[in-house]
């Protein structure tokens, strides 16, 4: 480090409020390319095994001010930021306070895509389909049902990975939920669309889109949470829509948008994320070179491999959380071998250090569960006495 305290090694900054597996995987990949990784995490200290994935770790009990976060970043040469959605506005505000000489890009365009309600207007202005929606404070639950019918979605304006998404089948439950909202301005009603859940994921550099792919989500942790099993597809119609959208938004970096395709084959865009997406490692193994595009954009010198768009649809399992699905996807005698091959393919991509992180995390979780069981048994025994 030079005498003025500034790290000259280019750094990617990760800002999160919990364990984001795609952040850990991206950090594992770019460290192999000798890019510095910095993690700033806010809140719970339960997820700390991942510290070995980063060159610098900063843990904060509460969200900092923009000035405080800028102070943390003052010693870094920032070439990209990957914030979780809830901390993205804060992160971009802090970057405006960092000297321009320590930044290689301007991320202001991303801020316009943080508010999900505002994004829908942007999409409609470009003749793209989005479900009807309006602010919770604008109409009572009964009026909202009259306009949108049941079931109905209620969303937080800023959120991700299924947090802040509720579906209501009855007016009574909807009224109870709305009545207990502390900040109705942060929520909006949205029409529920029945159909298949599809994602279009891309990476765009200075000259436009470099990699783009589509996949269908076959299984999630919960109805609106992260995916566990996907099917990677070559959906030409959706790829063309994705290219138009990325070009219109003029966003550089990772971008994915979630779609519901209804029974009439209409694609309804209901969410956009301007950060690395949870299945980027799966897509990489399927031949879509997001890593080459990203590292080449950051530091140069990497040629992006062109994917074979004639590949048949490929079922893929999210790593590491799809292990049960991999194990049960074949005959009993084949399952262990199939699971080991799956682990080995990701080890080659993400590195042994990442797998070590997973083992360490599992060990810590096991110790915590055992401690909780012992504590419960002790307290139960004390009450019986």
| pLDDT one-digit tens code per residue, 296-323 | 888 876 666 665 555 556 788 888 888 8
| pLDDT one-digit tens code per residue, 150-164 | 999 999 888 766 677
* 379 or 151: which leads in pLDDT: 151
pLDDT reported for residue 336: 81
Percent of the chain with pLDDT over 70: 85
Average pLDDT over the chain reads 84
Q: What kind of fold does domain 132-191 have according to CATH? A: Dna Ligase; domain 1 (3.30.1490)
Q: For residue 272, give the 3-state DSSP assignment.
A: strand
The per-residue DSSP string of 328-384 comes to TTS-TTTHHHHHHHHHHHHHHHH-HHHHHHHHHHHHHHHHHHHHHHHHHHHHHHHHH
In this structure, CATH architecture of domain 196-318: 2-Layer Sandwich (3.30)
| pLDDT one-digit tens code per residue, 87-103 | 999 999 999 999 888 88
Cβ(276)–Cβ(26) below 8 Å = yes
Report in angstroms the alpha-carbon separations of 305 from 263, 285, 292.
35, 12, 7
* 248 or 3: which leads in pLDDT: 248
Model confidence, pTM: 0.85
Identify the band that residue 368 occupies on the pLDDT scale cut at 50, 70 and 90.
Answer: low
- Residue-range domain boundaries for the chain: 10-111, 132-191, 196-318
Measured between alpha carbons, how far is 150 from 170 in angstroms, rounded to an integer?
7
pLDDT reported for residue 244: 81
Residue showing tokens 């399952």 = 335
* 364 or 337: which leads in pLDDT: 337
Q: Give the residue from 350, 217, 233 showing the smallest Cα distance to 288.
A: 233
Q: What kind of fold does domain 10-111 have according to CATH? A: Rossmann fold (3.40.50)
Torsion angle, CA of 307/312/315/317, rounded to 10 degrees? -10
pLDDT reported for residue 182: 87
């Amino acid at each position: 480090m030079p005498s003025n305290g500034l790290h000259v090694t280019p750094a990617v900054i990760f800002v999160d409020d919990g364990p984001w597996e795609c952040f850990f995987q991206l950090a594992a990949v770019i460290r192999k390319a000798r890019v510095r990784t910095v993690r700033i995490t806010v809140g719970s200290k339960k997820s700390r095994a991942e510290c070995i994935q980063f060159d610098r770790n900063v843990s904060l009990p509460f969200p900092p001010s923009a000035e405080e976060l800028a102070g943390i970043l003052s010693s870094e040469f920032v070439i990209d930021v990957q914030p979780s959605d809830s901390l993205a506005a804060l992160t971009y505000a802090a970057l405006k306070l960092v000297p321009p000489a320590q930044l290689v890009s301007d991320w202001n365009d991303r801020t316009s895509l943080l508010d999900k309600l505002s994004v829908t207007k942007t999409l409609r202005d470009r003749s793209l389909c989005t479900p009807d929606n309006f602010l919770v404070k604008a109409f009572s639950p009964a009026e909202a049902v009259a306009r949108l019918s049941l079931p109905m979605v209620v969303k937080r304006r800023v959120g991700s990975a299924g947090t802040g998404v509720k579906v209501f089948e009855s007016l009574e439950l909807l009224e109870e939920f709305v009545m207990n909202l502390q900040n109705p301005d942060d929520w909006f009603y949205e029409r529920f669309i029945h159909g298949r859940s599809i994602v279009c994921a891309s990476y765009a550099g200075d000259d436009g889109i470099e990699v783009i792919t589509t996949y269908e989500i076959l299984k999630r942790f919960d109805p609106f949470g992260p995916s566990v099993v996907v099917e990677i597809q070559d959906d030409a119609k959706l790829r063309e829509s994705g290219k138009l959208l990325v070009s219109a938004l003029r966003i550089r970096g990772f971008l994915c948008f979630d779609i519901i395709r209804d029974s009439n084959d209409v694609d309804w865009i209901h969410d956009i994320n301007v950060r690395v997406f949870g299945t980027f490692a799966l897509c990489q193994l399927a031949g879509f070179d997001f890593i080459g595009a990203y590292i080449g954009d950051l530091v140069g010198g990497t040629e992006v491999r062109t994917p074979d768009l004639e590949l048949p649809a490929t079922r893929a399992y999210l790593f590491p959380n799809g292990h049960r699905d991999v194990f049960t996807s074949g005959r009993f005698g084949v399952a262990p071998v199939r699971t080991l091959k799956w682990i080995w393919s990701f080890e080659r991509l993400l590195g042994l250090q990442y797998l070590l992180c997973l083992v360490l995390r599992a060990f810590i979780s096991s110790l915590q569960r055992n401690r909780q069981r012992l504590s419960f048994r002790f307290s139960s025994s004390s009450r019986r006495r």
